[in-house]
Amino acid sequence: MTIMAASPSSPSFQPVLERIAEEIEHTPGRGRAADYIPALAARDPRRFGMAVAELDGTVYGVGDWREPFSAQSITKVFTLALDLAREGDQLWEHVGREPSGNPFNSLVQLEYENGIPRNPFINAGALVVTDRLHTRTGDAAGELLDFLRAESGNPDLAFDEGVAASESAHGDRNAALAHFMASYGNVDNPVPVLLEQYFRQCSIAASCADLALATTFLARHGVRADGSRLLSRSQAKQVNAVMLTCGTYDAAGDFAYRVGLPGKSGVGGGIIAVVPGRCTLCVWSPGLDERGNSVAGVAALDRFTTLTGLSIF
């Protein structure tokens, strides 16, 4: 895989990214870092990085685009793809595909929907997907890390054990979700095992460049960087569709309205987005809005689609 370092002379996306970075630099009100995970709370909300990866592995970037950050819920996209590749439509018997309309860690819907989470990107749904991948691989988090290393071309990607420990120490809500779903028979593995896998999954540290590259299989309609097929074209469409409708928590409608791309955010401040057949993006800025999405990240993606005209609509 060839990775082209960003420079002012790089063609195509580089001038657009530089313009976006300049605009973001002068934007007031950048939100607040996630304070309910102590390991994330110290991040400066004014940090900003953005990368675009083309399908041949060329990457353009600005700002802190090489700075590793906690991927958090962005990893749910890759875990979903890895499990969907293994069990196909059977997965959807255990997790839905509808927007939740509630916060990402809500317990409310699980009770009246018999322990079936509304979608794979809220915490309950991601726990189910991780559980099912762990059953099939024996190490869901390790399978995910291997995939991200291969697709990004970065063998140094790793778990951040400090972040994982911080999440575990403050993970009572996730434990409640897992136990509740287990009571309905929708969890296979012991809850402590599942929680350890889930917290390690979310703790992976990666840069905008790493995550943009790792996401390109969705822009290539399911084909990995080495040319092998992970997902069928139909399955890649399914993942992109769920990203569009559910990928930014209970702000997915506003994100689709403003950005017009499938996307997935994480409370570490990152957002990935897909332009099918063309490129993928990752933006990072730790300051979040009240719904857990990066304020500068959403604004930057909004500007990207406006300036380039690249959108699924």
The tens digit of pLDDT for each residue in 47-61 reads 999 999 999 999 999
For residue 296, tell me if it sits in a domain.
yes
Active site annotation includes 267: yes
The answer to whether the annotation marks 152 as part of a ligand binding site is no
Asked whether residue 98 is marked as a ligand-binding residue, the answer is no
Q: Is residue 118 part of a domain?
A: yes
User: Of residues 16, 52, 62, 73, which has the active-site annotation?
Assistant: 73
CB 1 within 8 A of CB 153: yes
* Arithmetic mean of pLDDT over the chain: 93
Q: Is 77 a catalytic residue?
A: no
User: Cα–Cα distances in Å, from 163 out to 68, 153, 196, 206, 294?
Assistant: 13, 23, 12, 13, 19
Residue 53 placed within a domain: yes
**Residue 28 within a domain:** yes
At 9, list the tokens.
Answer: 């002379």
DSSP string, 228-243: -BSS-HHHHHHHHHHH
Q: List the CATH number of the domain containing 112.
A: 3.40.710.10
Dump pLDDT digits (tens) for 246-302: 999 889 999 999 999 999 999 999 999 999 999 999 999 999 999 999 999 999 999
All residues at 6 or more sequence positions from 296 whose CB lies less than 8 Å from its CB, including other chains: 24, 27, 30, 31, 48, 283, 285, 287
Report if residue 8 sits inside a domain.
no
Asked whether residue 98 is domain-assigned, the answer is yes
Rounded Cα–Cα distance for residues 49 and 9 (Å): 19
Q: Is residue 6 part of a domain?
A: no
Structure tokens at 43: 């991040």
| 167 annotated ligand-binding residue | yes
Please pick, among 62, 198, 242, 298, the residue that the annotation labels catalytic: 198
Q: How many domains does the chain fold into?
A: 1
d(CA 94, CA 143): 21
Residues in the chain: 313
Q: Could you tell me if residue 182 is inside a domain?
A: yes
60 is catalytic: no
3-class DSSP state of 297: helix
Q: Which residues span the domain enclosing 79?
A: 13-308
184 is catalytic: no
Annotated binding residue at 186? no
Residue 112: per-residue pLDDT: 83
Q: Which single residue is written with the structure tokens 């976006």?
A: 20
The pair of three-digit structure tokens given for residue 76, joined into one six-digit string? 């749910």
List pLDDT tens digits, range 80-108.
Answer: 999 999 999 999 999 999 997 776 667 77
